[in-house]
Chains A and B, each alone.
Chain A
Amino acid sequence: MQTLIHLFFAFIGTWGFTVYFNTPRHLVFITSLNGMFAYAIYLLVQHLTAGNSLSLFISSAVAALTVNLVAQILARVKKAPVIAFSTPGIVTLVPGGISYSMMRAFTLGQTVPALNFARDTIFVAGAIALGIGLGSGAYHLLYKLLPKKMKGKI
């Protein structure tokens, strides 16, 4: 239940940013779904890798990869640029909470916890970057594996 509520709010959050970035009206719903789907993947991978010290990194990277992969497919289907789909989806993954805690700890002079938060922030930011970078590569790789009949459609 808690997860469903989170997913609903992730949908609302992505929806808001699609409107904020002035995405064309007929693409708003599908882009918001993409953001929610990526957040679902994020929660799922985080659950699967719970306890692993790289859990945050892996889940962010996989979620960012998903956003980009789905955005690449949507861009071909809907004939619109990739970034119109990927940018609002990324916003849910941005490490806002962690970087806030980092700044707070630094200002209070608690250097050791602050450095821990800084490490997490850099990990998540790097994971998102990695996901974006791998996204288009993974798309071209998967495209080659598709059966011939599907290729005309995507």
Chain B
Amino acid sequence: MLIYQTNEVLKTCLFAGQIMMSNGAETSRVENTVVHMANSYQLQDIKVVAMPTLIILTVRDGEGNSFTDMVRMQIDERATNFDVVVEVNKISRRLTQRIEDPKIVYDQLQRIAENDSNFSNWQEIAAASIACGAFSFIVGGAYQDILPTIIVTALAVLVYDLCVKKTKIIFFSEFMAAAFIGLMAYYLPQIGFGKHFEFISIGALMCFVPGVAISNTFHDFFKGHMLSGLSMLARSLLTALAVGLGIVVVLNFI
């Protein structure tokens, strides 16, 4: 059997973990995948620590030499992309059947991370806007509220993206988007477009609710990853606070 360089294997495993984590997978899933991948390369004593900003991997090769590598990453809030998570998962499943050169796998992972073939950015924004329109009806709005909500949401997501690009501060961007939603939702019904201020803003805010962060928080907590659970909880609370503040500021001044 061919033996590959342990350094290359570590690099590939960590890269797989990194792109899974930054695309919205929960911690236990990342740790599992990294362990499975390292396992397929016949490494022993595999220990992995994954946290929202860091993954450390320590292994022993066949001769008993210990190798350690780590990766430190920055997480972009709106980068949730389950397509990437599923594809990386497929690769790790494939490796358990038949191992391949880690360099080739690394190239494949890189292609997966850069590939955006599933849904384009515009399709995502359009779908999110339609979903928020539906939510404005579910929480009690009238049929006339749906179209304004769709438009307000689409514009708010654009405002959010612009703020993230210019300032790179997620808290501020969410605040601005929520304030924008509040203003639009207040003035649109006044010119006869839409009916209820509150249902338009609730619907549009659904897009900025930290859904992935909340569900990952509890997945992590119940699997015993207290540290990552706490940091994810902090992040979702911060998002909720930012969105709340944005709406409250608008409510106070109009």
Contact = CB atoms under 8 A, between A and B. Distances in A.
A90 B217 CA distance: 13
A19 B138 contact: no
A113 interface: no
Residue among A27, A82, A94, A97 with max Cβ neighbours from chain B (10 Å)? A97
Interface range, B side: 35 or more
Contacts of A106: 248
Interface in A9-25: 9-10, 12-25
B227 interface: no
A140 interface: no
B248 A17 contact: no
B218 A132 contact: yes
B152 to A, nearest CB: 14
Interface range, A side: 35 or more
Contacts of B86: 23-24, 27, 80-81, 84
* Majority DSSP secondary structure for residues of A touching B: helix
A125 B248 CA distance: 21
B183 interface: no
Interface stretch (B48-56, B61-69, B95-103, B123-131): B123-131
Contacts of A94: 206, 209, 211, 214
A20 B124 contact: yes
A117 to B, nearest CB: 12
Contacts of B26: 83
A83 B29 contact: yes
B167 interface: no
A21 B139 contact: no
Contact of A84 (B82, B139, B214): B82
Contacts of A82: 29, 219
Interface stretch (B39-47, B158-166, B168-176, B197-205): B197-205
Interface in B211-252: 211-212, 214-219, 221-222, 240, 244, 247-248, 251-252
Q: Which 5 A-B pairs have the closest CB atoms?
A: A16-B131, A19-B127, A133-B222, A13-B134, A20-B128
10 contacts: A12-B130, A13-B131, A16-B132, A19-B123, A20-B128, A24-B83, A27-B86, A87-B82, A92-B135, A107-B252
